[in-house]
Amino acid sequence: MIFELKQKKDKFLDKAYKDSMKELNDFYGINWTRNTPKIFVVNSREDKAFLKGDMGNGSAGWIVGWTPTTDTVFVMNRLKIKTETSHKKGYTKEQYKYLIKHELSHLFFKILIKGGFRPVWLWEGVAIYTSEQDKFKKRLEEFKQFLSFYDSHMSEDGKTSVYYESGFFVEMLVEKFGKEKFLNFLKSLQKVKNRKEFDKLFFKTYKFKLNYKEINKFYKN
């Protein structure tokens, strides 16, 4: 299949991109100003399926953005999300702005961990927290789902996903223990190879275990 590319001139997208890069540089402590990421806008589920075909997730209807490399973002066209994905309500401009920031955040995350072990809940949780997408959700009373998503985005029955709780957990870590500790934890993942090593490093860093009883004790205090 052959694609024809052209540069997209859009003031809204340009501003969303520039604002996101500035804020993410500040959060991650990275000065990414050269060879900055490129964003490609995808217009159909067929194009999405082709572009993601070698990544094992094909044309999954819920996917609206992804980052196949360390400097490339693909996002569905905002005006096509309602018809070309399972998000039948579509995205407002504000939601789309945060989607762009979410995907860009994944690229910064990749820079910090350099191929180290990354649980899906942490991968998505950091992107959700840094893009402020939790503002569209009801606040949690307690955590009870996200630890099921070390290596998947959705439950087998499709009723729960990594996206609801993980951002709130990252928020808790940053606000209760500080951003510096959190970023140092992410950098330490460069040498982590599996879940056992990850859980050990987490306990060493935060002095509590990754189970809902201990997590909710910190969350509610």
Q: Are 149 and 120 in contact (CB under 8 A)?
A: yes
Reply yes or no on whether the pLDDT at 55 is more than 70. Answer: no
E strand or H helix that includes residue 180: helix 179-188
Are residues 174 and 95 part of one domain?
no
Could you report the per-residue pLDDT of 158-203, keeping only the tens digit for each?
889 999 999 999 999 999 999 999 999 999 999 999 999 999 999 9
Boundary of a domain, candidates 113, 141, 168:
113
Are residues 82 and 54 part of one domain?
yes
Boundary of a domain, candidates 80, 113, 146:
113
Task: Give the CATH number of the domain where residue 80 resides.
Answer: 3.30.2010
Are residues 180 and 140 part of one domain?
yes
Could you report the per-residue pLDDT of 61-81, keeping only the tens digit for each?
889 999 999 999 999 999 999
pLDDT at residue 22 in the model:
98
Reply yes or no on whether the pLDDT at 9 is more than 90. Answer: no
pLDDT at residue 46 in the model:
87
Contacts of 197 (CB under 8 A, 6+ apart): 117
Are residues 36 and 123 part of one domain?
no
Could you report the per-residue pLDDT of 119-165, keeping only the tens digit for each?
999 999 999 999 999 999 999 999 999 999 999 999 988 889 999 99
Could you report the per-residue pLDDT of 28-53, keeping only the tens digit for each?
999 999 999 999 999 998 888 888 87
pLDDT at residue 59 in the model:
54
pTM over 0.85? The answer is: yes
**Residues of the domain holding 184:** 115-221
Are residues 109 and 125 part of one domain?
no
Reply yes or no on whether the pLDDT at 58 is more than 50. Answer: no
Are residues 50 and 133 part of one domain?
no
Tell me the H-state helices in 36-146.
45-51, 81-84, 93-113, 120-131
Are residues 143 and 73 part of one domain?
no
Instruction: Give how many domains the chain has, as a whole number.
Output: 2
Are residues 144 and 61 part of one domain?
no
Q: Are 169 and 177 in contact (CB under 8 A)?
A: no
Are residues 219 and 171 part of one domain?
yes
Are residues 99 and 132 part of one domain?
no
